[in-house]
Structure 1
Amino acid sequence: MSVAIGSFLVFAASQVGTPGPANMALMTTGARFGLRRALPFVAGVIAGKQLIIWPMGFGLLALGTQHPWIFETLKWISAAYICWLAWRVTQIRLQPGTRGEDVAAPGFAAGLIVHPLNPKAWAMITAGFTSFTDPGTPAFQATLAIALCLISCQILLQPLWAWGGSALAAKVAGTPAERGLMYALAGLTLASVLYVLFGGGQA
Protein backbone atom coordinates (compact mmCIF):
# COMPACT_ATOMS: atom_id res chain seq x y z
CA MET A 1 0.00 0.00 0.00
CA SER A 2 1.82 3.08 -1.23
CA VAL A 3 2.05 5.91 -3.76
CA ALA A 4 4.10 5.43 -6.94
CA ILE A 5 6.19 8.49 -6.13
CA GLY A 6 8.64 8.28 -9.04
CA SER A 7 5.93 7.95 -11.65
CA PHE A 8 3.80 10.61 -10.04
CA LEU A 9 6.72 13.06 -9.91
CA VAL A 10 7.19 12.67 -13.67
CA PHE A 11 3.48 13.21 -14.22
CA ALA A 12 3.37 16.17 -11.83
CA ALA A 13 6.37 17.87 -13.45
CA SER A 14 4.81 17.47 -16.89
CA GLN A 15 1.62 19.13 -15.64
CA VAL A 16 3.11 21.83 -13.41
CA GLY A 17 5.83 22.88 -15.85
CA THR A 18 3.82 23.17 -19.05
CA PRO A 19 1.62 26.07 -20.21
CA GLY A 20 -1.81 26.46 -18.66
CA PRO A 21 -3.99 29.18 -17.14
CA ALA A 22 -2.12 29.34 -13.82
CA ASN A 23 1.32 29.49 -15.42
CA MET A 24 0.19 32.11 -17.91
CA ALA A 25 -1.16 34.19 -15.01
CA LEU A 26 2.25 33.85 -13.32
CA MET A 27 4.06 34.89 -16.49
CA THR A 28 1.79 37.88 -17.08
CA THR A 29 2.18 39.04 -13.47
CA GLY A 30 5.97 38.69 -13.68
CA ALA A 31 6.05 40.67 -16.90
CA ARG A 32 3.96 43.51 -15.53
CA PHE A 33 5.45 43.84 -12.05
CA GLY A 34 8.86 42.15 -12.18
CA LEU A 35 9.90 38.95 -10.44
CA ARG A 36 10.48 40.45 -6.99
CA ARG A 37 7.03 42.03 -6.75
CA ALA A 38 5.39 38.95 -8.25
CA LEU A 39 6.86 36.58 -5.64
CA PRO A 40 3.98 36.90 -3.11
CA PHE A 41 1.56 35.97 -5.91
CA VAL A 42 3.82 33.05 -6.89
CA ALA A 43 3.91 31.87 -3.28
CA GLY A 44 0.13 32.06 -3.09
CA VAL A 45 -0.27 30.00 -6.26
CA ILE A 46 2.10 27.35 -4.86
CA ALA A 47 0.39 27.21 -1.46
CA GLY A 48 -3.09 27.22 -2.96
CA LYS A 49 -2.75 23.72 -4.38
CA GLN A 50 -2.39 22.40 -0.83
CA LEU A 51 -5.90 23.71 -0.14
CA ILE A 52 -7.15 21.13 -2.63
CA ILE A 53 -4.87 18.20 -1.85
CA TRP A 54 -5.63 17.77 1.83
CA PRO A 55 -9.44 17.99 1.67
CA MET A 56 -9.43 15.64 -1.33
CA GLY A 57 -7.24 13.16 0.49
CA PHE A 58 -9.69 13.06 3.38
CA GLY A 59 -12.97 12.66 1.52
CA LEU A 60 -13.69 15.55 -0.86
CA LEU A 61 -12.82 13.37 -3.85
CA ALA A 62 -15.83 11.15 -3.10
CA LEU A 63 -18.07 14.22 -2.83
CA GLY A 64 -16.97 15.44 -6.25
CA THR A 65 -17.68 12.02 -7.73
CA GLN A 66 -21.19 12.04 -6.30
CA HIS A 67 -21.88 15.65 -7.31
CA PRO A 68 -19.98 16.42 -10.56
CA TRP A 69 -21.72 19.79 -10.89
CA ILE A 70 -19.37 21.06 -8.17
CA PHE A 71 -16.32 20.66 -10.42
CA GLU A 72 -18.24 21.99 -13.42
CA THR A 73 -19.10 25.15 -11.47
CA LEU A 74 -15.48 25.51 -10.34
CA LYS A 75 -14.36 25.24 -13.96
CA TRP A 76 -16.31 28.31 -15.04
CA ILE A 77 -15.50 30.34 -11.93
CA SER A 78 -11.83 29.56 -12.50
CA ALA A 79 -11.97 30.67 -16.12
CA ALA A 80 -13.60 33.97 -15.18
CA TYR A 81 -11.10 34.64 -12.37
CA ILE A 82 -7.97 33.93 -14.40
CA CYS A 83 -9.26 36.01 -17.32
CA TRP A 84 -9.91 38.85 -14.87
CA LEU A 85 -6.32 38.61 -13.63
CA ALA A 86 -5.05 38.84 -17.21
CA TRP A 87 -7.30 41.79 -18.00
CA ARG A 88 -6.27 43.62 -14.81
CA VAL A 89 -2.57 43.69 -15.61
CA THR A 90 -3.14 44.82 -19.21
CA GLN A 91 -5.04 47.88 -17.99
CA ILE A 92 -2.05 49.33 -16.15
CA ARG A 93 -0.32 52.16 -18.00
CA LEU A 94 3.42 52.32 -17.34
CA GLN A 95 5.96 55.02 -17.74
CA PRO A 96 9.36 53.73 -18.92
CA GLY A 97 11.23 52.09 -16.05
CA THR A 98 8.40 52.10 -13.50
CA ARG A 99 7.21 48.46 -13.88
CA GLY A 100 3.88 49.33 -12.25
CA GLU A 101 5.38 50.75 -9.06
CA ASP A 102 2.35 53.00 -8.51
CA VAL A 103 -0.05 50.03 -8.67
CA ALA A 104 -0.38 47.18 -6.20
CA ALA A 105 0.70 43.85 -7.64
CA PRO A 106 -1.52 40.81 -7.06
CA GLY A 107 -0.48 39.44 -3.68
CA PHE A 108 -0.44 36.15 -1.79
CA ALA A 109 -4.21 36.05 -1.32
CA ALA A 110 -4.83 36.55 -5.05
CA GLY A 111 -2.48 33.69 -5.83
CA LEU A 112 -3.91 31.47 -3.12
CA ILE A 113 -7.23 31.02 -4.89
CA VAL A 114 -5.87 30.35 -8.40
CA HIS A 115 -5.56 26.59 -7.99
CA PRO A 116 -8.65 26.02 -5.82
CA LEU A 117 -10.58 27.59 -8.71
CA ASN A 118 -8.62 25.68 -11.36
CA PRO A 119 -10.41 22.52 -12.52
CA LYS A 120 -7.24 21.10 -14.05
CA ALA A 121 -5.51 21.32 -10.68
CA TRP A 122 -8.36 19.24 -9.29
CA ALA A 123 -7.98 16.77 -12.17
CA MET A 124 -4.23 16.48 -11.59
CA ILE A 125 -4.70 15.77 -7.90
CA THR A 126 -7.53 13.35 -8.60
CA ALA A 127 -5.17 11.45 -10.89
CA GLY A 128 -2.65 11.30 -8.07
CA PHE A 129 -5.11 9.62 -5.77
CA THR A 130 -6.74 7.34 -8.34
CA SER A 131 -3.93 6.41 -10.75
CA PHE A 132 -0.74 6.53 -8.67
CA THR A 133 -1.98 5.35 -5.25
CA ASP A 134 -2.53 1.71 -4.32
CA PRO A 135 -6.00 0.89 -2.99
CA GLY A 136 -6.01 0.73 0.78
CA THR A 137 -3.16 3.21 1.27
CA PRO A 138 -3.80 5.19 4.48
CA ALA A 139 -5.27 8.61 3.72
CA PHE A 140 -2.53 10.54 5.53
CA GLN A 141 0.29 8.62 3.80
CA ALA A 142 -1.23 9.10 0.34
CA THR A 143 -2.09 12.76 0.90
CA LEU A 144 1.33 13.63 2.32
CA ALA A 145 3.13 11.95 -0.58
CA ILE A 146 1.05 13.72 -3.22
CA ALA A 147 1.34 17.05 -1.39
CA LEU A 148 5.14 16.82 -1.17
CA CYS A 149 5.53 15.77 -4.80
CA LEU A 150 3.40 18.61 -6.11
CA ILE A 151 4.83 21.35 -3.92
CA SER A 152 8.37 20.26 -4.86
CA CYS A 153 7.57 20.55 -8.56
CA GLN A 154 5.84 23.88 -8.03
CA ILE A 155 8.70 25.41 -6.05
CA LEU A 156 11.14 24.42 -8.79
CA LEU A 157 9.08 25.24 -11.86
CA GLN A 158 6.42 27.87 -11.25
CA PRO A 159 8.72 30.77 -10.29
CA LEU A 160 10.36 30.24 -13.68
CA TRP A 161 7.16 31.37 -15.36
CA ALA A 162 7.14 34.66 -13.44
CA TRP A 163 10.86 35.08 -14.12
CA GLY A 164 10.32 34.41 -17.82
CA GLY A 165 7.65 37.09 -17.99
CA SER A 166 9.89 39.53 -16.15
CA ALA A 167 12.83 38.81 -18.46
CA LEU A 168 10.68 39.28 -21.56
CA ALA A 169 9.31 42.59 -20.28
CA ALA A 170 12.81 43.85 -19.44
CA LYS A 171 13.77 43.44 -23.09
CA VAL A 172 10.95 45.68 -24.31
CA ALA A 173 10.41 48.02 -21.34
CA GLY A 174 9.69 51.58 -22.38
CA THR A 175 9.12 50.68 -26.03
CA PRO A 176 5.87 50.32 -27.98
CA ALA A 177 6.44 46.56 -27.91
CA GLU A 178 5.81 46.53 -24.16
CA ARG A 179 2.07 46.99 -24.59
CA GLY A 180 2.08 44.40 -27.33
CA LEU A 181 3.79 41.92 -25.04
CA MET A 182 1.21 42.38 -22.30
CA TYR A 183 -1.70 41.97 -24.71
CA ALA A 184 -0.02 38.91 -26.21
CA LEU A 185 0.38 37.35 -22.75
CA ALA A 186 -3.23 38.17 -21.91
CA GLY A 187 -4.30 36.60 -25.19
CA LEU A 188 -2.29 33.46 -24.43
CA THR A 189 -3.89 33.31 -21.00
CA LEU A 190 -7.33 33.51 -22.57
CA ALA A 191 -6.37 30.84 -25.10
CA SER A 192 -5.15 28.53 -22.34
CA VAL A 193 -8.41 29.04 -20.43
CA LEU A 194 -10.45 28.19 -23.53
CA TYR A 195 -8.30 25.11 -24.07
CA VAL A 196 -8.94 24.00 -20.49
CA LEU A 197 -12.67 24.58 -20.89
CA PHE A 198 -13.10 22.90 -24.23
CA GLY A 199 -9.94 20.92 -25.01
CA GLY A 200 -8.33 19.78 -21.78
CA GLY A 201 -4.80 21.35 -21.20
CA GLN A 202 -2.60 21.49 -18.14
CA ALA A 203 -2.95 23.17 -14.77
Structure 2
Amino acid sequence: MFEALFSLIAATGLLLGSPGPAPLALAASGATFGVKKSTGFLVGILLGLCVAIVGATAGVAALYSAWPEARLAVQICGALYIGYIAIKIATASVLDRDQSTAARPPSLLDGFIFNLLNPKAYAAFLAIFSQFLLPIEESGFSYVATGLVCLVVAAVVDFTWLCLGGSLRPLFHKPKQARVIRVSFALLMVAAVLFVFLR
Protein backbone atom coordinates (compact mmCIF):
# COMPACT_ATOMS: atom_id res chain seq x y z
CA MET A 1 0.00 0.00 0.00
CA PHE A 2 2.84 2.41 0.86
CA GLU A 3 4.46 1.86 -2.55
CA ALA A 4 1.14 2.45 -4.32
CA LEU A 5 0.57 5.64 -2.32
CA PHE A 6 4.08 6.90 -3.06
CA SER A 7 3.64 6.14 -6.76
CA LEU A 8 0.29 7.95 -6.79
CA ILE A 9 1.72 11.04 -5.07
CA ALA A 10 4.74 11.13 -7.40
CA ALA A 11 2.65 10.67 -10.54
CA THR A 12 0.10 13.28 -9.47
CA GLY A 13 2.83 15.76 -8.56
CA LEU A 14 4.51 15.32 -11.92
CA LEU A 15 1.33 15.37 -14.00
CA LEU A 16 -0.31 18.33 -12.26
CA GLY A 17 2.87 20.19 -11.33
CA SER A 18 4.42 20.28 -14.78
CA PRO A 19 4.21 23.72 -16.42
CA GLY A 20 0.75 23.55 -17.93
CA PRO A 21 -1.99 26.17 -18.17
CA ALA A 22 -3.11 26.07 -14.50
CA PRO A 23 0.35 26.21 -12.83
CA LEU A 24 1.48 28.96 -15.20
CA ALA A 25 -1.73 30.94 -14.61
CA LEU A 26 -1.26 30.65 -10.84
CA ALA A 27 2.38 31.75 -11.06
CA ALA A 28 1.42 34.65 -13.31
CA SER A 29 -1.43 35.71 -11.02
CA GLY A 30 0.83 35.48 -7.96
CA ALA A 31 3.48 37.59 -9.68
CA THR A 32 1.00 40.15 -10.99
CA PHE A 33 -1.49 40.47 -8.12
CA GLY A 34 0.24 38.81 -5.15
CA VAL A 35 -0.45 35.56 -3.31
CA LYS A 36 -3.20 36.92 -1.06
CA LYS A 37 -5.24 38.49 -3.87
CA SER A 38 -4.84 35.32 -5.98
CA THR A 39 -6.13 32.93 -3.29
CA GLY A 40 -9.67 32.97 -4.69
CA PHE A 41 -8.29 32.00 -8.11
CA LEU A 42 -6.39 29.10 -6.49
CA VAL A 43 -9.54 27.90 -4.66
CA GLY A 44 -11.50 28.07 -7.92
CA ILE A 45 -8.85 26.05 -9.73
CA LEU A 46 -9.00 23.38 -7.02
CA LEU A 47 -12.81 23.29 -7.19
CA GLY A 48 -12.60 22.86 -10.96
CA LEU A 49 -10.10 20.08 -10.35
CA CYS A 50 -12.69 18.33 -8.14
CA VAL A 51 -15.04 18.30 -11.14
CA ALA A 52 -12.23 16.88 -13.31
CA ILE A 53 -11.63 14.12 -10.75
CA VAL A 54 -15.32 13.21 -10.66
CA GLY A 55 -15.50 13.45 -14.45
CA ALA A 56 -12.53 11.13 -14.88
CA THR A 57 -14.06 8.54 -12.56
CA ALA A 58 -17.51 8.91 -14.12
CA GLY A 59 -16.28 8.10 -17.59
CA VAL A 60 -15.44 11.26 -19.48
CA ALA A 61 -13.23 9.05 -21.66
CA ALA A 62 -16.27 7.00 -22.68
CA LEU A 63 -18.16 10.19 -23.54
CA TYR A 64 -15.29 11.51 -25.62
CA SER A 65 -14.96 8.15 -27.40
CA ALA A 66 -18.65 8.12 -28.27
CA TRP A 67 -18.71 11.79 -29.32
CA PRO A 68 -15.25 13.01 -30.39
CA GLU A 69 -16.75 16.39 -31.26
CA ALA A 70 -17.60 16.88 -27.55
CA ARG A 71 -13.91 16.62 -26.71
CA LEU A 72 -13.00 19.11 -29.42
CA ALA A 73 -15.71 21.53 -28.23
CA VAL A 74 -14.43 21.37 -24.64
CA GLN A 75 -10.84 21.85 -25.83
CA ILE A 76 -11.79 24.89 -27.91
CA CYS A 77 -13.79 26.45 -25.05
CA GLY A 78 -10.93 25.74 -22.66
CA ALA A 79 -8.36 27.23 -25.02
CA LEU A 80 -10.44 30.38 -25.46
CA TYR A 81 -10.91 30.80 -21.71
CA ILE A 82 -7.23 30.19 -20.99
CA GLY A 83 -6.47 32.81 -23.67
CA TYR A 84 -8.83 35.23 -21.88
CA ILE A 85 -6.99 34.70 -18.55
CA ALA A 86 -3.62 35.08 -20.34
CA ILE A 87 -4.73 38.42 -21.82
CA LYS A 88 -6.02 39.56 -18.42
CA ILE A 89 -2.63 38.82 -16.87
CA ALA A 90 -0.54 40.22 -19.75
CA THR A 91 -2.41 43.53 -19.82
CA ALA A 92 -2.62 44.15 -16.06
CA SER A 93 -1.47 47.57 -14.87
CA VAL A 94 1.94 48.20 -13.36
CA LEU A 95 1.97 48.37 -9.57
CA ASP A 96 1.68 51.77 -7.96
CA ARG A 97 3.47 52.81 -4.78
CA ASP A 98 0.76 51.34 -2.58
CA GLN A 99 1.36 47.91 -4.16
CA SER A 100 -2.12 47.76 -5.59
CA THR A 101 -3.13 47.29 -9.17
CA ALA A 102 -5.82 48.90 -11.24
CA ALA A 103 -6.77 45.57 -12.78
CA ARG A 104 -8.67 42.97 -10.79
CA PRO A 105 -7.06 39.56 -10.21
CA PRO A 106 -8.71 36.42 -11.63
CA SER A 107 -11.58 35.41 -9.34
CA LEU A 108 -12.71 32.13 -7.79
CA LEU A 109 -15.19 31.76 -10.66
CA ASP A 110 -12.39 32.37 -13.18
CA GLY A 111 -10.36 29.60 -11.57
CA PHE A 112 -13.30 27.20 -11.49
CA ILE A 113 -14.17 27.74 -15.16
CA PHE A 114 -10.47 27.65 -16.06
CA ASN A 115 -9.94 24.12 -14.71
CA LEU A 116 -13.44 22.96 -15.61
CA LEU A 117 -12.44 23.53 -19.25
CA ASN A 118 -8.78 22.51 -18.89
CA PRO A 119 -8.25 19.36 -21.01
CA LYS A 120 -4.92 18.65 -19.29
CA ALA A 121 -6.70 18.10 -15.97
CA TYR A 122 -9.04 15.45 -17.40
CA ALA A 123 -6.22 13.73 -19.30
CA ALA A 124 -4.08 13.65 -16.14
CA PHE A 125 -6.82 12.07 -14.04
CA LEU A 126 -7.73 9.54 -16.70
CA ALA A 127 -4.08 8.46 -16.67
CA ILE A 128 -3.89 8.46 -12.87
CA PHE A 129 -7.08 6.45 -12.32
CA SER A 130 -6.13 3.91 -14.97
CA GLN A 131 -2.55 3.39 -13.71
CA PHE A 132 -2.27 4.44 -10.05
CA LEU A 133 -5.58 3.56 -8.40
CA LEU A 134 -4.97 2.74 -4.72
CA PRO A 135 -5.32 -1.01 -4.03
CA ILE A 136 -8.30 -0.95 -1.67
CA GLU A 137 -10.77 -3.84 -1.71
CA GLU A 138 -13.89 -1.68 -1.87
CA SER A 139 -13.82 -0.27 -5.40
CA GLY A 140 -15.80 2.89 -4.61
CA PHE A 141 -13.61 3.72 -1.62
CA SER A 142 -10.51 3.12 -3.76
CA TYR A 143 -11.63 5.82 -6.21
CA VAL A 144 -12.56 8.24 -3.42
CA ALA A 145 -9.24 7.73 -1.59
CA THR A 146 -7.27 8.11 -4.82
CA GLY A 147 -9.18 11.28 -5.68
CA LEU A 148 -8.60 12.79 -2.23
CA VAL A 149 -4.86 12.09 -2.39
CA CYS A 150 -4.77 13.71 -5.84
CA LEU A 151 -6.61 16.78 -4.55
CA VAL A 152 -4.21 17.22 -1.60
CA VAL A 153 -1.18 16.88 -3.88
CA ALA A 154 -2.74 19.33 -6.35
CA ALA A 155 -3.37 21.86 -3.55
CA VAL A 156 0.29 21.68 -2.45
CA VAL A 157 1.64 21.87 -6.01
CA ASP A 158 -0.68 24.72 -7.05
CA PHE A 159 0.04 26.73 -3.88
CA THR A 160 3.76 26.27 -4.56
CA TRP A 161 3.34 27.67 -8.11
CA LEU A 162 1.35 30.60 -6.72
CA CYS A 163 4.09 31.36 -4.16
CA LEU A 164 6.83 31.04 -6.80
CA GLY A 165 5.00 33.62 -8.87
CA GLY A 166 4.51 35.77 -5.78
CA SER A 167 8.26 35.77 -5.20
CA LEU A 168 8.62 37.65 -8.51
CA ARG A 169 6.24 40.37 -7.36
CA PRO A 170 8.95 42.86 -6.28
CA LEU A 171 10.11 43.00 -9.90
CA PHE A 172 6.68 44.34 -10.83
CA HIS A 173 7.55 47.82 -9.56
CA LYS A 174 9.77 48.18 -12.62
CA PRO A 175 7.50 48.71 -15.65
CA LYS A 176 9.72 47.10 -18.29
CA GLN A 177 10.51 44.00 -16.23
CA ALA A 178 6.87 43.68 -15.16
CA ARG A 179 5.66 43.79 -18.76
CA VAL A 180 8.22 41.20 -19.90
CA ILE A 181 7.35 38.79 -17.06
CA ARG A 182 3.58 39.14 -17.51
CA VAL A 183 3.72 38.73 -21.28
CA SER A 184 6.12 35.77 -20.91
CA PHE A 185 3.73 34.00 -18.53
CA ALA A 186 0.81 34.71 -20.87
CA LEU A 187 2.72 33.34 -23.88
CA LEU A 188 3.73 30.22 -21.92
CA MET A 189 0.06 29.63 -21.03
CA VAL A 190 -0.92 29.91 -24.70
CA ALA A 191 2.00 27.64 -25.70
CA ALA A 192 0.83 25.01 -23.17
CA VAL A 193 -2.64 25.08 -24.74
CA LEU A 194 -1.20 24.79 -28.26
CA PHE A 195 0.91 21.84 -27.13
CA VAL A 196 -2.27 19.99 -26.08
CA PHE A 197 -3.88 20.66 -29.48
CA LEU A 198 -0.84 19.70 -31.53
CA ARG A 199 -0.08 16.42 -29.74
* Matching of residues 41-60 of structure 1 within 5 Å: 41-60=41-60
Cα deviation per residue 1:80-100 (whole Å; 9 max; x = unaligned)?
111110101222222433555
Deviating above 6 A after TM superposition, structure 1's stretches of 4 or more consecutive aligned residues are 134-137
Query: Is the helix fraction higher in 1 or 2?
Result: 2
* Residues 44, 110 of structure 1: 8 Å contact kept: yes
The separation in 1 between residues aligned to 2:179 and 2:59, in whole angstroms, is 46
Q: 1:95 to 1:38 in 2, by over 3 A?
A: closer
* Residues 31, 169 of structure 1: 8 Å contact kept: yes
Q: Give 2:171's aligned residue.
A: 171
Cα deviation per residue 1:7-30 (whole Å; 9 max; x = unaligned)?
222111101111001111111111
* Residues 133, 143 of structure 2: 8 Å contact kept: no
The separation in 2 between residues aligned to 1:182 and 1:86, in whole angstroms, is 9
Q: Give 1:147's aligned residue.
A: 147
**Unmatched tracts of structure 2, length 5 or more:** none
- Match for 1:180: what amino acid? V
Moved more, 175-184 or 53-62: 53-62
Q: Give 2:194's aligned residue.
A: 194
- Match for 1:115: what amino acid? N
SS of the residue 1:24 aligns to: helix
The separation in 2 between residues aligned to 1:100 and 1:65, in whole angstroms, is 47
Paired-residue identity, %: 26
Cα deviation per residue 1:172-203 (whole Å; 9 max; x = unaligned)?
4234211111111111111111112213xxxx
* Residues 32, 89 of structure 2: 8 Å contact kept: yes
With the length of structure 2 as denominator, give the TM-score of the two structures. 0.87
* Residues 87, 186 of structure 2: 8 Å contact kept: yes
* Residues 92, 102 of structure 2: 8 Å contact kept: no
Deviation, structure 1 residue 103: 2.9
Q: What is the root-mean-square deviation of aligned Cα atoms in Å?
A: 2.4
